[in-house]
Amino acid sequence: MLSTWTHKIGLILKDTTLRNRILFLLGAIVVFRFLAAVPIPGVDRVRLEQFFSDNQFLGLLSVFSGGGFSQLSIVMLGVGPYITASIIMQLATVLFPKVKRMYSEEGEAGRTQFITWARMLTIPLAILQGVAFLSLLESQGILLPMAPFAFAVNVFLVAAGSILLMWIGELITEYGIGNGVSLLILAGILAAIPGGISQALFTATPAMIPAYIAFIALALAVIWSVVMVAESERSVPIAYARASRGQMASAGATTYLPIRLLQAGVMPIIFALSLLLLPQMVFTGLSAVGVAGAGALTTWFIAFSANPWAYGAVYFVLVVMFTFFYTSITFEPKRVADNLQKSGAFVPGVRPGRETETFIGNVVTRVTLPGALFLGLVAVIPFIIQGVTGITAILIGGTALLIAVQVLVDLIRKVDAQVSLREY
């Protein structure tokens, strides 16, 4: 195993294109971490630390911002607005046939237009979230009182920072390796690990030791199970018809179509958390600017999110739903069946065309169901432990761990695919 990885690392170092992609990824992450350390003006650091220590919601939000929110940096919103815009656009493919045709049937040009609309939608969402959070922080005394112009400048800074991160994430996807948005979230999670470990060591009491041991055991179990399930797949046999050229005839080849249990990867978790965080962002922002009734909604949602059983149940359902939804968007049985038919391939015992589409669709549904249930179960295990022990740090750590493991598995798989391509 060690010799195999040594060989692959040697290929990465020798191949100029692959080496440049990895260096570009590392450089983009360094730029992101630098931006996450640049604070906006007027922050009261003492009140900020106290506010974050008492607010579990903001801890989850900090995971999405890559740690930028806990520092109130110029990228404090992170890629949250872009993720929200992507969710809205993905939902639009279900509600509006025109958007569905553009995304699925118009090829690369349609997908480019789809991404362009998501980028444009990110701008107003970033401005609205900036106004909401800065109003909340100012009302809590974390930000010093500002004149309207200074407040507008801060809103412009955080909105521009979020748009800049969106651009960096897309550059990573195009010129680096892996999904840029997911890798930026991973970078923030990894950057927070040393501080989290030191804080846990200095604040630990003898009564908390069993809970921390349970969390370590949970972390190891999550890492092992996610890696195993992420590598699991259902192989659909594919055969190619015999080809005849004059007097020559070649035998048909046989291969297989791999359908993974976790076809959607980490995106269902990110989408589900984004949807759970969105109501509190909206209610908090409306309450901060003095909208009637918003305070009551904020209080209700805070009480709901503090209940690990109710919040965990909704989280589980959302993860399962988004797993099916994202799989249906990214893996289309009709397109696969059409491509097989055009290339002269077929599933043994199944007629080409509509019957092949139905067969592949049924296989994807059956494979996705256990994968979705597994992903939802792993996602809510920290909620269950929180309900039993009452330690909220495990909730944040478990969510971050699940995202980190999924993104790392996907990154390793893509690097391995690039290395294998160059070997051949």
The burial class, CB within 10 Å (0-12 / 13-18 / 19+), for 292 is exposed
Are 187 and 273 part of one and the same domain?
no
Residue 333 pLDDT greater than 80, yes or no = yes
Contact assessment for residue 112 and residue 122, using Cβ atoms and an 8 Å cutoff = no
Q: What is the percent of the chain with per-residue pLDDT over 70, rounded to a whole number?
A: 78
Q: Are residues 179 and 281 in the same domain?
A: no
What pLDDT does residue 53 have?
60
* Cβ atoms of 72 and 48 closer than 8 Å: yes
pLDDT of 164 reads 92
Residue 10 pLDDT grade (very low, low, confident, very high; cuts 50, 70, 90): confident
In a domain, 2, yes or no: no
265 with 171, same domain? no
Which of residues 203, 238, 262 is at a domain's end?
Answer: 203
Task: State which amino acid sits at residue 286.
Answer: L
Q: Which whole number is the average pLDDT over 123-129?
A: 87
Residue pLDDT, tens place only, 93-108: 777 777 777 776 666 7
If asked whether residues 236 and 383 sit together in one domain, one would say: yes
Looking at residue 404, its pLDDT comes to 79
Quick one: 71 and 84 in the same domain? yes
Range of lowest pLDDT (9-13, 310-314, 405-409, 411-415): 9-13
pLDDT of residue 160: 92
Residue 54, pLDDT above cutoff 70: no
Are 197 and 212 part of one and the same domain?
no
Read off the pLDDT of residues 246-262 as tens digits, 9 standing for 90 and up: 555 455 567 888 888 87
Q: Are residues 52 and 130 in the same domain?
A: yes
With bands split at pLDDT 50, 70 and 90, how would you rate the model's confidence at 63? low
On whether residue 139 sits in a domain, the answer given is yes
Calculate Rg over the CA atoms of the chain: 24
Asked if residue 320 and residue 196 are part of one domain, the reply reads no
Average pLDDT, the chain: 77
Highest mean pLDDT among 13-17, 279-283, 317-321, 380-384: 317-321
19 in any annotated domain = yes
Q: Give domain status of residue 149, yes or no.
A: yes
Pick from 170, 197, 196: nearest CA to 182: 170
Task: Tell me what pLDDT residue 397 has.
Answer: 59
Report whether pLDDT(4) > 80: no
Q: How confident is the model at residue 290 (pLDDT cuts 50, 70, 90)?
A: low
- Cβ pair 284, 298 in contact under 8 A: yes
CA distances from 169 to 114, 119, 272, 300, 354 (A): 17, 12, 20, 35, 38
**Mean pLDDT of all residues in 338-348:** 82
- Which pLDDT score, from 0 to 100, does residue 168 have? 92
Has residue 244 got a pLDDT over 70? no
Beta bridge partners of 234: 259
The structural domain count of the chain equals: 2
pLDDT at 281: 67
Percent helix, strand, coil in the chain (nearest 5)? Answer: 75, 5, 15
Q: Does 6 fall in a domain?
A: no
Q: Is position 5 within any domain?
A: no
The most confident of the ranges 137-141, 344-348, 360-364 is 360-364
CA 255, CA 245: separation in Å to the nearest integer?
22
- Convert the pLDDT of each residue in 23-42 to its tens digit: 898 999 899 888 888 888 87
On whether residue 377 sits in a domain, the answer given is yes
Confidence (pLDDT) at 307: 74
Gap between the Cα atoms of 92 and 71, Å rounded: 34
Residues 59 and 197 in one domain: yes
Q: What are phi and psi of 237, to 5 degrees?
A: -65, 140
Boundary of a domain, candidates 155, 176, 203: 203
303 located within any domain: yes
Q: Are residues 58 and 109 in the same domain?
A: yes
pLDDT, tens only, 181-223: 888 888 887 877 776 677 666 766 777 677 677 777 777 887 7
Q: Cα angle at 19 between 15 and 25, to 5 degrees?
A: 155
Contact 161, 35 (CB under 8 A): yes
Give yes or no: residues 263 and 367 share one domain: yes
Domain range holding 246?
A: 205-424
**Looking at residues 217-244, what average pLDDT do you find?**
77
- What is the pLDDT, as a whole number, of residue 245? 54
Domain boundary among 173, 203, 233: 203
**Same domain assignment for residues 51 and 107:** yes
CA-to-CA dists, residue 191 to 54, 163, 170, angstroms = 21, 21, 21
Q: In b/e form, how buried is each residue of 189-215, taking b as 16+ CB within 10 angstroms?
A: bbbbeeeeeeeeeeeeeeeeeebbeeb
Between residues 224 and 70, the one the model is more confident about: 224
Task: Confirm if 118 and 204 have CB atoms less than 8 A apart.
Answer: no
Q: Cα 339 to the chain's mean position, in Å?
A: 29
CATH number of the CATH domain containing 225: 1.10.3370.10
